């Protein structure tokens, strides 16, 4: 597993988690967290009261918990992080071992590594809306086929009525949050974008590399809004995004999956860069549209995404699914 340029021993600050990285975000409880967002070891989760476990996965080593943080609704996501190759020698040298079982040439142990090698990634959404809670509840999903008319009469009005907040996106574009995490920026108002690690990536190894490119243009909601006039923007993101990732992480474009989601989780145009071989959430055929295909389709038909029927999955509790059902489309 390839470590990322800096290592923890030399640069412990570079590895601090969510709270530290978002220190410039203005949250409702920003002041309680102190200047550096974590107030030297103070545990903002110590008062967390669990309401329910929304979902968990033994394979992904994650658990999504709904609960209360100081009387506010909160969602906490805990995730065990991958083992870094660079940590191996210290794990072997400094852990305690307890024998579990011995049989022939096979032994299993319970290994307890030093605390600093045993971190979890904790993501906190607080105050969390009902939508956040819903989003992480284990759900069945259904495939919807959206015609251009369905988009106009069902999806677009739903998006407009919901007014999903993209304040966090504007915070990134305006350097009010996560500015120290920016990997690359093209400041051009028309063709420009900001490239930074997605929340889902702990940045400790490139195996699960996940970056997002967020456009400076604010009026493009999704794939559906794209026409041939956006080809220069998309090509710019594709070229400069790949170059920046090569520079920063020594990964060539041939190791990257570059795509858009439809439906996206937020209606401000963004492009996903994930490492090939990493089964990133939402990278399946029912939701991901390769950027190269998008560019080609717009070349062959300037209004391709305005006119085509697009398929995508919706979760059982998604309000949009209810709208499709109500219109008799499911
Ligand atoms: C989100 C989709 C949205 C919970 C969670 C994530 N990357 C983000 C705020 C800042 C970010 C992201 C919504 C929200 Cl865990 C609810 O994603 C973000 N910053 N995906 C980055 N870098």
Q: 184 and 239, same structural domain?
A: yes
Report the atom number in ligand 1 closest to the C-alpha of 199: 7
Residue 120's H or E segment, with its range, is strand 120-125
Question: Nearest Cα to 251, choosing from 194, 288, 200, 209?
Answer: 209
Q: What is the CATH number of the domain that holds 49?
A: 3.30.200
pLDDT at 53: 97
Higher per-residue pLDDT: 42 or 227: 227
pLDDT at 162: 86
Q: 301 and 246, same structural domain?
A: yes
Catalytic residues: 270
The answer on pLDDT for 197 being more than 90 is yes
Q: 99 Cβ partners below 8 Å, 6+ apart?
A: 107, 108, 109
Q: 165 and 23, same structural domain?
A: no
* Ligand 1 residue neighbourhood (C-beta within 6 Å): 123, 125, 132, 168, 178, 196-199, 212, 265-266
pLDDT at 28: 39
Q: 245 and 143, same structural domain?
A: yes
Domain containing residue 268: 139-326
What is the mean pLDDT of the segment spanning 276-293?
Answer: 96
Task: Give, using CA atoms, the residue closest to atom 6 of ligand 1.
Answer: 199
Q: 129 and 180, same structural domain?
A: no
Q: 22 and 102, same structural domain?
A: no
Please state, in angstroms and rounded to a whole number, the distance separating the CA atoms of residues 197 and 218.
20
Query: Mean pLDDT score of the chain, rounded to an integer?
Result: 89
pLDDT at 27: 38
Q: 265 and 172, same structural domain?
A: yes
What is the mean pLDDT of the segment spanning 50-67?
Answer: 95
Q: pTM of the entire structure? A: 0.83
Please state, in angstroms and rounded to a whole number, the distance separating the CA atoms of residues 262 and 311.
8
37 CB neighbour count, 10 Å cutoff: 19
Q: 76 and 102, same structural domain?
A: no
Query: pLDDT band for position 204 (50/70/90)?
Result: confident
The answer on pLDDT for 35 being more than 60 is no
What is the Å distance from ligand 1's center to 213 Cα?
13
pLDDT at 40: 57
Query: How many domains does the chain divide into?
Result: 3
Q: 220 and 242, same structural domain?
A: yes
What is the mean pLDDT of the segment spanning 95-119?
Answer: 96
The answer on pLDDT for 32 being more than 70 is no
Three-class SS state of 263: coil
With 0-12 CB in 10 A as exposed, 13-18 as middle and 19+ as buried, what is 203? buried
CA 126 to each of CA 29, 48, 70, 76, 79: distance values in angstroms, whole numbers, following the listed order: 9, 11, 10, 9, 18
Q: CB–CB of 244/286 below 8 Å? A: no
Q: 304 and 182, same structural domain?
A: yes
- Angle CA(55)–CA(57)–CA(62) in degrees, nearest 5? 85
DSSP string, 171-184: HHHTTSSSGGG--E
Q: 296 and 253, same structural domain?
A: yes
Q: 229 and 111, same structural domain?
A: no
């Amino acid at each position: 597993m390839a470590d990322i340029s800096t290592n923890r021993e030399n640069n412990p600050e570079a590895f601090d988690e969510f709270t530290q990285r978002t220190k410039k975000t203005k949250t409702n409880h920003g002041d309680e967290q102190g200047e550096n967002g974590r107030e030297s070891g103070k545990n903002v989760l110590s008062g967390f009261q669990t309401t329910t476990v929304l979902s968990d996965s033994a394979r992904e080593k994650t658990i999504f918990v709904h609960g209360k943080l100081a009387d506010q609704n909160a969602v906490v996501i805990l995730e065990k992080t991958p083992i870094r190759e660079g940590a191996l020698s210290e794990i072997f040298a400094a852990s305690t071992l307890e024998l579990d079982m011995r049989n022939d040439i096979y032994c299993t142990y319970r290994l307890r590594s030093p605390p600093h090698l045993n971190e979890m990634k904790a993501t906190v959404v607080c105050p969390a809306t009902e939508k956040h809670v819903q989003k992480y509840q284990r759900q069945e999903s259904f495939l919807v086929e959206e015609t251009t008319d369905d988009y106009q009469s069902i999806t677009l009005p739903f998006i407009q009525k919901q007014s999903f907040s993209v304040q966090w996106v504007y915070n990134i574009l305006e350097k009010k949050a996560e500015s120290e995490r920016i990997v690359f920026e093209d400041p051009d108002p028309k063709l420009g974008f900001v490239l930074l690690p997605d929340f889902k990536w702990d940045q400790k190894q490139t195996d699960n590399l996940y970056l997002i490119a967020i456009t400076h243009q604010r009026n493009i909601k999704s794939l559906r809004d794209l026409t041939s006039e956006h080809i220069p923007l998309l090509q710019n993101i594709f070229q400069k995004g790949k170059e920046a990732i090569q520079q920063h992480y020594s990964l060539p474009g041939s190791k990257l999956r570059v795509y858009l989601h439809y439906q996206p989780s937020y209606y401000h145009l963004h492009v996903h860069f994930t490492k090939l071989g990493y089964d990133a959430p939402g990278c399946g055929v029912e939701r991901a549209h390769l950027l190269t295909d998008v560019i080609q389709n717009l070349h062959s038909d300037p209004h391709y995404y305005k006119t085509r029927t697009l398929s995508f999955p919706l979760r059982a509790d998604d309000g949009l699914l209810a709208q499709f059902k109500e219109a008799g489309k499911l």
